Structure 1
Amino acid sequence: MSAPFRFPRFFVTTPAPCPYLVGKTERKVFTELNGAHAAELNDALGRIGFRRSQNVAYRPSCIDCSACVSVRVITKEFQPNATQRRLLRRHQDLEVTACKPWTTQEQYDLLRRYLNARHPTGGMVEMDEHDFADMIEQSPVKTFVVEYREPSRGGRPGKLVGACLTDQQADGLSMIYSFFEPEDTARSGLGTYIILDHIVRAGRAGLPYVYLGYWVENSRRMAYKARFRPLEKLGPNGWRRFEPDQRELPLG
């Protein structure tokens, strides 16, 4: 007999400076994911805008701001634009593997290069090996680390140039966190390519969505998500299509 489902208890964090909008504070509501029904709960919460971090599901619950909007790509209808098609061709030689969520030194070294180059003042820059292991390995749901490597040579794996911590939910892939080689000019656009690859993977698996997390209209850091269409956003009346303004920013 399976364990009975227990309605989760929700908690609220202490307000803290917003990482996306200057002068704003953020507050989150969260609950633990544990027990036999953790995956079902995570699926249900994901459909109403929650994200997973280790064994916790959370979403913004700010008192005076609703700028953070959950967005997802409709995989069946997605058609890459000309720039995205070029990226798919440029990186088609990469060897992609969905690995079990166990950390490696190679992954951590890549994360450090990525954070130091792209987010030197961000909250994750102080992450050490133990923090990284917790982020990757503490998952109560179906989780993978999707690795992107240069072509293997002589039977030896190629260099790791990208990775993404990814949850497989009942209705899609949820991209928890991706990182990639930041200074390799021959591999420009890796961040975009990783998202494109997830859209292709979800489509092949018959999964209707790729969850991209939160989009903030006036945040430069979030603008890249507008490039993947058709997009849906979560609002008071559920998920609806929308057409955010695209900004001419360098490819990630």
Structure 2
Amino acid sequence: MVSQIERGFGEKFLKSIDNFYTYGIDWLFNEWWETAPADVIAKYEAAILDHPDHGPLAREGWLAPDFGIGSLDSYGPGTLGHAYRAFMVDNKLVEHLAAGYHARHEELLQSGKIDRMPPALAYKVLRGFQTHDLHHVLTGYPATPLGELAIQAFQLAQMDYPYAAMWIAVVTSHMTLVDPYLIKPGMDAITDGWALGRRARSVQFVKFEHRLGEPLDDIRAEFGLQRDPVARADTPPERTPELLKPSVERSD
């Protein structure tokens, strides 16, 4: 029997397509588990546990201790740690984002909403919040709406993961049905992130927190993350997609 989308969840999916700022993809992701088909959940779980790199790391379940920006002050120019600090400071990002989401995850568990989320997927959620900004630094994708879209395509190329897949599904549906001006810049970001994710070594779950003192260029070369920046400027100002106006969610 072919799995089907539960119709109540389908309505929530349409709400997210209409406006994913008022009904965010993070909300959509957490709503999905209660009605998700069991065989689909099993496939996502197997995609992690059966992978030669992801499986052992997911079973280990390592999470980095919470950190403050000040702990990165000692890393010199050219290192991953220095670039990580600059990315966080320049973009005025929340340094305890992962710790805050961990508390929210516990609340969702207590509510029963994500009871059907397998441990491997739960680990991906929590570790993903820790590594999201590190992955921006490693890939070179900026903390902009299109940079966030590219990083989600990159993540999906490296791992079958419903959150990243929902990102692509919602945005491509929005560009198709709501804002056609998003099609070209959106697809540029998606295809760039997807291509990089497919050809690079997996960075999922890797303990880059232990490598902050190493040269960023060396780590990028090791994982095949060198890329040319995507910087298209052919969208007229009057055709700026709605996606480019507010900022979008920051998570993996």
Decide which structure has greater strand share: 1
Same fold by TM-score greater than 0.5: no
Decide which structure has greater helix share: 2
